[in-house]
Chains A and B, each alone.
Chain A
Amino acid sequence: MIVKILLYCAMSILAVANEDIITPIHYIDDNLDTNLLHERLQGSHIKVSIPSIPYHYVSKLINGTLLRIADTPQGWEYMMATGHTKIDELTYDLTLRQGVKFQDGTLFDANSVIKNINAFLKQPFTYTDIHHRLKNVEKIDAYHVRFHLWKPYGMFLNDLAAINLYSNAYLDKFSWQGSATGANTQEAGRYGLGPYILEEGYAVGRKQTPRIKLKANPYYYESTKPYIENITIYTQLTTDEAVKMILINEGLLDISPIPFNKKTEATLSRYAKLLTMPSKNNIMIYFNLMKHKGILKNKEIRIALNKAINQPRLLNFIYKNEGHLAPTESSINYLSIRNATEKLPTYGENISDTEAQYLKSILSGLELNVVTQDRFLFLWKGIEYQLNQFGVHINYSITTSEKDIYELLLTNRKNPKDWDMLTWGNDDWYGNHPWTTFFAYRTSSEWSSIDQDNILQKYIEEFFAYPSDSVAFQEIVNKIVQRTYENAYMLFLPSPNLVLAINKEVFYAPSAVAIMPLWEAKISKNHWSIRQDSYPKERLSPMKPIKVIK
């Protein structure tokens, strides 16, 4: 009897033609563990697209620093130093890592540090205040050094994470070449302490090659790392190129940021997976207050433009929810910024009809020249749509390369340019520290497009003095945020998440600060660079996205 019923059931199921029952798409898990390679194989190779501050990211891969920026509360971890003592407000002792060799095989010790710091002091970088505050360094013994400051400097340790330590050979040839942008190795060669050797191409602040090749450093102090022998870095891919190379093809690109609206494509890709993660990236849209007769000198217009931006809508339709509302340009994923902006509404929230009418009356007919990298164009289309509602017209200048952006930004102060708004993808290069964005408000620096604001300037001088875990620090951050918010010095947008496409056979955990820990990345035995056979068919199915929630 039971058998009969079962049979009937089976028959009735069979009776329904297979094509009438639709099975959902099967998503495979990101279960690389069993296949991951934990040692460096010859020929292993990944290709990475770095459209924002490539000189910074490359520098972090090829150079050693005493401290390394990291996603820690203080924003750094020890690297070439293994410990430090703050003797007083003006004196710091650091212990150095022993038994470490430069990429050319020469020894690293206190002498190397002294030589580097002395060279640095001759031509320091200017994007922090170290050039006004560091006095000198002295050797205590072979692995101990002592730093002396002119005045207290809360950002001292963070700054150490930006001072590259070069081999003697490099210093003899190039010395230390600080500038407004981050410093980096000038030519390919075995000059650094980082996990990778710069083998071909270069990226220094205002100049870069479209392609940069790195090779694993055999002398790297973490002896098992890096796990991948070769890295190719692209600095100027267009968004479309990058998306095609990573989502549709295999072996052309392994890691790349993608626009938010490509998330579904990335999920369904045969070769790539999607990774999203809150970031401390800041989309900076400068207002040019330097421009001769520039309309944005007018505070009312700047505020009106910000009010014309409806952030919740932007977040939903353009960001595809990959981000968070942010009252200023600084990412609210900085703890201090989150605290400072807690009570501030975003400008465009709850605009009444009458207010909208008023905004229209002052914005209508405005024509603004916008400079942007091609990768932000999708975002600009959303902004443009909203501004259009208020009668604002936008003229674009578009580039694929960040160096063009720098050219227009960093010469603007000396020689004001014609742009009204300029977009810069400002990743958290300073390591979990709001200086990453505040440095654009220091009107004494090339990075600022504000003509004058003495109050803000004073706040920033004060800001330098406090360590980031102090109460005074939070207070001064509050003041700066309040000041920049009230003056609407930039076009404020939601804080974006990091949205990456990564080859399915690559294991890579991105950092929340602007460093790419590729020396910790691994590939599986199915990766295109080392695989012998064809790609296993089951791996072509879409993969569940990786959503990192911090």
Chain B
Amino acid sequence: MIQYLRIRYKFFMMAALGVIAIVLMSLLAQNISKDGFKRLQDVFDDSKKVQHIQRDFIAPLFNLREITLALVTAPNNDYRREIKKDLIPLMQKLDASFSFLNDSEINLIWQNYKKLILLTDEYMQLGFEEGAFTNVNNSERKQFYILVSKLEQIQEVQLSNSSSTFKKAENNFYDKEQLIIAGAILVVCLTLIFGFLIARNIVFSIENVQTGLDQFFNLLGRKIDKDEKISISLKSRDEFGEMAKKINTNVEILRNNLKKDLHIIESATNVLDEIKKGNLSSRLKELASSDELNRLQHVMNEMLDNLNERIMLEINERTKQEQLLIQQSKLASMGNMIGNIAHQWRQPLSEVNAILMSIQAQKENNDLDDETFFKGFEECDTILAHMSNTISDFQNFFKPSKSKCKFSLQEACKSASFIIESSLKYNQIHYEMNFVQNSEVFGYPREFSQAILNILSNAKDILLERKIKNPYIKLTLLQGEKYALIKIQDNGGGIQGEIIDSIFEPYFTTKHASRGTGIGLYMSKIIIEANMQGYLNAKNTEEGALFIIKLSLEKEPDKK
């Protein structure tokens, strides 16, 4: 029957049940509190009696006691007279209260207490202060506490009366309480049963819609095979029933669109895979059901075309630049080489010159014999052979290494030094090499020597440029467990602080265009770091620049 009601009626029924339950309960409660009120009145009356003893007897008695004490401790008669003004009326008031109490025993004690107070007063008037003091603190005090304790006994009795009345009220309350509990249980039970039935109906509908929606969302999340049948089987005629029907038709439309889009996404993934492999010519061809996907497909294709074109351009540009760089580097090396050869040749040339001059002189004097001429000629020949060797040494030096191989760092440094040594000597630059031991590393020996040479020439340039006194360059080779270290230190005053971060960049130079290209350190860095997996760093020390090369000692560094 409930099945055919609208939800709003179902809720209304539940609310009505609640209201009925509350009305019933409050009726019951009202009945009980009316009863309780009457009982409380009784308790109140009794406690008023207790309070009466407190107010009319005990409190004034304490007051009286306080006054008599004050009487004795008062510093002089003026004070005493003031205090006594309160004493007599208070005693009269208490007299009245006690006669009203109608308890002969207590009354007798009160009369005696009064006598003792009057005695204290009498002693004070006689100037017998010690007597008054003793009386107040002794007999009068004792009598006072007996009197008060008697009154408290009465109070006790009345208090227990009032508490028994209270007890009765309490019991009554508990009886009624049980009735309330029983009634409440009944009402609650009934409400629960009806409520449960209605609620179950509503919840059932909700659950049905929920499972349908769950399946639908699972479908969207591809947790369900797209061919599986999804529909909410709800036959109730309320709002939920209508909702279920609408959801079912929509699900069907959605499912078909979904199938189409899935297909285009798959083909897009394929295209991307192709591009990953390097095939930039692959494109999306199929059409999707949704416009958005179609637009996406279009944008993607266009993007791919664009990308392809750009990459080609970039590659061309790079190749061109690199070639230029290599060309420049070669030119620079060549310039350097010529300079160095010039220095290497200076000495043998002047020797040849000397020999030739002496031969010439002897000839002019007609002093030249054959022996001398041939000896001179032989000497020149040897010297020239040596010079030619030098050239080939230089050529070898600048030839690229054929492949990576194991080589001695000591040797590599020596061959770099050989190139520049005479130029240094000529310029009176002190040059020093320290090898703790010979270290072998894996890499390109010639290129490495070139790198060292670059660093040494830079130092030489700086020392000359800055006209340093007592210039020197020190090269030290150190070896640890895993690494070899090469330090090249000069006393040229160091790299200017603001440029220290830029020196390794290509084309960075502080020299005049005719003298430096700014490629030396860039190339050195590429050789040591990119080709040999080492490190090249520069820093300033107190005297000048320090270049540190760190190389791994492992045989095959790593095969990238």
Contacts and interface: CB of A to CB of B under 8 A. Distances in A.
B128 A22 contact: no
A72 B145 CA distance: 52
Contacts of B142: 22
Contact of A312 (B75, B128, B134): B75
Contact of A24 (B128, B129, B139, B150): B139
A23 B139 contact: yes
B135 interface: yes
B282 interface: no
B136 to A, nearest CB: 10
A68 interface: no
A263 B75 contact: no
Given A22-B116, A22-B143, A264-B134, A13 B127 contact: no
A264 B130 contact: yes
Interface string B125-167: 0011111011100111011001000100000000000000000
B109 A263 contact: no
Contacts of A13: 108
A80 B139 CA distance: 54
B139 A25 contact: yes
Given A12-B104, A312-B75, A20 B134 contact: no
B105 interface: yes
A3 interface: no
A320 B112 CA distance: 29
Interface string B536-555: 00000000000000000000
Contacts of A16: 105, 108-109
B184 interface: no
Contact of A263 (B116, B119, B130, B146): B130
A304 B277 CA distance: 113
B116 A24 contact: yes
Contacts of B128: 544-545, 547
A173 B116 CA distance: 66
Contact of A267 (B105, B127, B131): B131
A321 interface: yes
A508 B245 CA distance: 131
Contacts of A542: 134
A179 B525 CA distance: 123
Given A24-B119, A316-B75, A545 B130 contact: yes
B108 A22 contact: no
Contacts of B143: 21-22
Interface size class of B (residues with CB under 8 A): 20 to 34
A193 to B, nearest CB: 40
Interface in A500-550: 542, 544-545, 547
A145 interface: no
Contacts of A267: 130-131, 134
A246 to B, nearest CB: 16
A267 B138 CA distance: 14
A394 interface: no
Contacts of B119: 24
Contacts of A253: none
A439 to B, nearest CB: 34
Contacts of B135: 24-25
A274 interface: yes
Contacts of B108: 12-13, 16, 21
A20 B109 contact: yes
A274 B127 CA distance: 13
Contacts, number: 63
A500 to B, nearest CB: 14
A174 interface: no
B451 to A, nearest CB: 90
B102 to A, nearest CB: 13
A24 B123 CA distance: 12
Contact of A20 (B129, B131, B139, B146): B146
Interface string A87-99: 0000000000000
A15 interface: yes
Interface string A303-331: 00000000010001000110000000000
A27 B131 contact: yes
Contact of A268 (B112, B129, B134): B134
A401 B134 CA distance: 33
Contacts of A266: 130
A23 to B, nearest CB: 7
A545 B138 CA distance: 18
Nearest to B127: A547
Contacts of B134: 25, 264, 267-268, 542
B105 A264 contact: no
A24 B142 CA distance: 10
Interface in A242-292: 263-264, 266-268, 274
B140 to A, nearest CB: 8
B133 A264 contact: yes
Contacts of B75: 312, 316, 321
A312 B75 CA distance: 9
A323 to B, nearest CB: 13
Nearest to A267: B130
Nearest to B135: A24
Contacts of B138: 25
Interface in A312-359: 312, 316, 320-321
Contacts of A25: 131, 134-135, 138-139
A312 B142 CA distance: 33
Contacts of B76: 316, 321
A267 B123 CA distance: 13
A339 to B, nearest CB: 24
Contacts of A15: 104-105
A274 B129 CA distance: 12
B116 A544 contact: no
Interface string A16-49: 1000111111010000000000000000000000
B146 A22 contact: yes
A262 to B, nearest CB: 10
Contacts of A27: 131
Contacts of A23: 139
Given A22-B112, A320-B129, 9 more contacts: A12-B105, A16-B105, A21-B108, A22-B139, A22-B143, A25-B131, A267-B134, A316-B75, A542-B134
7 contacts: A13-B108, A264-B133, A266-B130, A274-B130, A321-B75, A544-B131, A547-B128
Closest 8 pairs between A and B when the two form their complex, measured CB to CB: A267-B130, A22-B143, A316-B75, A24-B139, A264-B130, A22-B142, A22-B139, A16-B105
Interface of A: 12-13, 15-16, 20-25, 27, 263-264, 266-268, 274, 312, 316, 320-321, 542, 544-545, 547
